[in-house]
Amino acid sequence: MTQIDFPMEDLLDRPREECGIFGIYAPEREVARLTFFGLYALQHRGQESAGIVSSDGRSAYIHKGMGLVSQIFNETNLGPLKGHLAIGHNRYSTTGSSHIRNASPYLLETNYGPLGVAHNGNLTNTAYLRQRLLQRGVGLSSTTDSEVITSILAAPSEVWTGAEIDHSNDPLDLWQGRIRALMMIAEGAYALTILTRDAIYGVRDPLGLRPLCLGKLGDGGYALASESCALQTIGAEYVREVDPGEIVRIDGNGVTSITGRKSERRALCIFEYVYFARPDSKLEDQVIHAVRQRLGRQLAIESPVEADIVVGVPDSATPAAIGYSLESGIPYTEGLTKNRYIGRTFIQPDQQLRQASVKLKYNPLTSNLEGKRVILVDDSIVRGTTSGPLVQLLRDGGAKEVHVRVSSPPVKHPCFMGVDMATYKQLIAHHMDIEGIRQTIGADSLDYLSLPGLLKAVQEGRQHTGHCTACFSGQYPVTIPAWLFEDERDVPVLFGQGIWSE
């Protein structure tokens, strides 16, 4: 009998999460357990596989597997992960299929000790870098850009990197030189935690497409994480974000900031604010929950409608629904109850259950909906496969009218920087206007937050910031190789352009 690990979230119309990375240096502590809880807090960023690499300064230890953090790790396999340095990774596949050989972190032995790498993001020039490695005789065992990054760091070459590499006998100087060299040739989105024999490094791409932050432990040591919620979970104090293009080294001397590769522009993925990040996390010194409430307020200003109650699609759209209610004066209440334990199961649903997937995830609160004109706030519509069943579920629960409001603009373009945002052929807003989508999902009315409104809400009071809006605008902050659009030859694409708001 074959046991199938089937993610029920895949039944719902949501962009797939990116990855979560973690790193920690804590003298005289066994940090694998802290890394486990850090990854547990970042579980929302990737539910496909997870892994931890630790080191005691002499040897490195690794354990990784397929599934959720709590399914992979236990007291038996955490025990052997010795040492005061560790990195961890939660994966959702972007480059590379869902297979154990593609699970991270990656670990290699080098002349200068162990090298471990955890990566969040997606390199847009992976094919070129991979081919050059193969030409140099470097063997690769997976299909991921993360392994490519690890191999380049393990054995860089000025011949094809075009960058000066430090051949110092000092391992600290050597590794920071190799990381700099990698940053000169790596294009696209990446946040990295890197483990060496003596230090943990945190690296962020020059545009800051992927988040990474730094925290301080109360009894000594520091940690790096994709989101600040992981720092809170392990009792670390949030210090700051790693700057775009910065290399941070954590070792016995504390924290050292090193200039990697700088850019005048910034392009943090704006979908972190819309959906990806946990509501209690901070990005750009803003609490995500507060920003999402501002999205809802702006949506109410732009798209008012007469109704009796406001409900949100739990849990990601709840803050925006509250904001809509506060701005409009229409009472907020719960209209849908979420089954929080259906998120992942080992039993694959049959075809009838797949067709009723929304009912597996949500139930209507009939007593709150009966005879009411309902505003349903959602954070995004991607393929459009969930919105119609949700609208019908509210009607089945007694709603007299259902008006859908979306706290982000229409998603019209795929993402090539580490997010599965579907293809042009799958994106409903690429093929239909708003009225066509409204008819398809069966709502009484439908409207989206405008792109200027989204930027206004996210960047309120902020200076020296910028965000990638490619999934909404089609304007990419990095050059996208034309071959990635081979299946979309009839689609006009704006290469190497971006939307910036300073």
Residue 96 pLDDT more than 80? no
From the list 223, 270, 80, 110, the residue with the least C-alpha distance to 174 is 110
Same domain, 293 and 409: yes
Query: Over the stretch 386-395, which tens digit does the pLDDT of each residue have?
Result: 999 999 999 9
pLDDT of residue 266: 95
pLDDT of residue 142: 78
Which band of pLDDT confidence, cut at 50, 70 and 90, is reported for residue 160?
A: low
Same domain, 257 and 297: no
Where in the sequence is the domain holding 461, given as residue range(s)? 285-488
State the CATH number of the domain containing residue 202: 3.60.20.10
Same domain, 212 and 305: no
Question: How does DSSP assign 168-185, residue by residue?
Answer: -S-HHHHHHHHHHHHHHH
Same domain, 243 and 364: no
Tokens, residue 163: 């960058």
Query: Over the stretch 376-422, which tens digit does the pLDDT of each residue have?
Result: 999 999 999 899 999 999 999 999 999 999 999 999 999 988 787 77
Task: For the chain, state the CA radius of gyration.
Answer: 23
Query: Over the stretch 67-80, which tens digit does the pLDDT of each residue have?
Result: 999 999 999 999 99
Q: What are phi and psi of 179, to 5 degrees?
A: -65, -40
Query: Over the stretch 214-250, which tens digit does the pLDDT of each residue have?
Result: 999 998 899 999 999 999 999 999 999 999 999 999 9
Contact 216, 194 (CB under 8 A): no
Residue 197 lies in a domain: yes
pLDDT of residue 138: 83
Q: How many helices (H) and strands (E) does the chain have?
A: 19, 23
Query: Over the stretch 279-307, which tens digit does the pLDDT of each residue have?
Result: 999 999 999 999 999 999 999 999 999 99
pLDDT of residue 144: 85
Higher pLDDT: 318 or 173? It is: 318
DSSP-based three-state secondary structure for 240 = strand
pLDDT of residue 158: 57
Same domain, 210 and 241: yes
pLDDT of residue 493: 39
Is 19 known to be catalytic? Answer: yes
Residue 133 lies in a domain: yes
pLDDT of residue 13: 63
Burial class (CB in 10 A: 0-12, 13-18, 19+), 422: buried
Q: How far is CA 437 from the centre of its chain?
A: 27
Q: What are phi and psi of 330, to 5 degrees?
A: -85, 130
With a CB cutoff of 8 Å and minimum separation 6, the contacts of 291 are 273, 283, 457, 458
Residue 427 lies in a domain: yes
Same domain, 30 and 89: yes
Question: CA 325 to CA 135: how far, in whole Å?
Answer: 59
Residue 230 lies in a domain: yes
pLDDT of residue 248: 98
Task: Supply angle C-alpha 168, 172, 174, rounded to 5.
Answer: 40
Same domain, 400 and 433: yes
State the CATH number of the domain containing residue 392: 3.40.50.2020
Question: CA 343 to CA 359: how far, in whole Å?
Answer: 13
Residue 12 lies in a domain: no
CA dist list (Å): 184 to 41, 118, 162, 206, 478? 32, 19, 8, 10, 14
Contact 190, 149 (CB under 8 A): yes
Residue 495 lies in a domain: no
For residue 456, which amino acid is it? K
Same domain, 209 and 78: yes
Task: Supply angle C-alpha 75, 77, 81, rounded to 5.
Answer: 105
**DSSP β-ladder status, 362-364 and 401-406:** unpaired
Which band of pLDDT confidence, cut at 50, 70 and 90, is reported for residue 374?
A: very high
Same domain, 156 and 221: yes
Higher pLDDT: 140 or 45? It is: 45
Residue 149 lies in a domain: yes
The average pLDDT across 437-454 equals 98
From the list 313, 309, 315, the residue with the least C-alpha distance to 289 is 315
Higher pLDDT: 423 or 456? It is: 456
Same domain, 249 and 289: no
Same domain, 360 and 252: no
Average pLDDT of the chain, as a whole number:
87
Residue 171 pLDDT more than 80? no
Query: Over the stretch 447-500, which tens digit does the pLDDT of each residue have?
Result: 999 999 999 999 997 877 899 999 999 999 998 888 777 655 444 433 333 332
Q: How far is CA 499 from the centre of its chain?
A: 20
Specify the DSSP element, H or E, that contains 213.
strand 213-217
Active-site position among 19, 269, 468, 471: 19
Q: What are phi and psi of 468, to 5 degrees?
A: -80, 125
Residue 346 pLDDT more than 60? no
Where among 228, 263, 298 does a domain terminate?
A: 263
Residue 46 lies in a domain: yes
Question: CA 386 to CA 143: how far, in whole Å?
Answer: 31
Same domain, 232 and 319: no
DSSP state of 70: H
Sequence-ordered strand ranges (E) for 355-443: 362-364, 373-378, 401-406
Higher pLDDT: 462 or 124? It is: 124
The number of distinct structural domains making up the chain is 2
DSSP collapsed to 3 states, 120-148: EEEECCHHHHHHHHHHCCCCCCCCCHHHH
Residue 357 pLDDT more than 60? yes
CB atoms under 10 Å from CB of 488, counted, come to 15
Higher pLDDT: 213 or 344? It is: 213
Residue 161 pLDDT more than 80? no
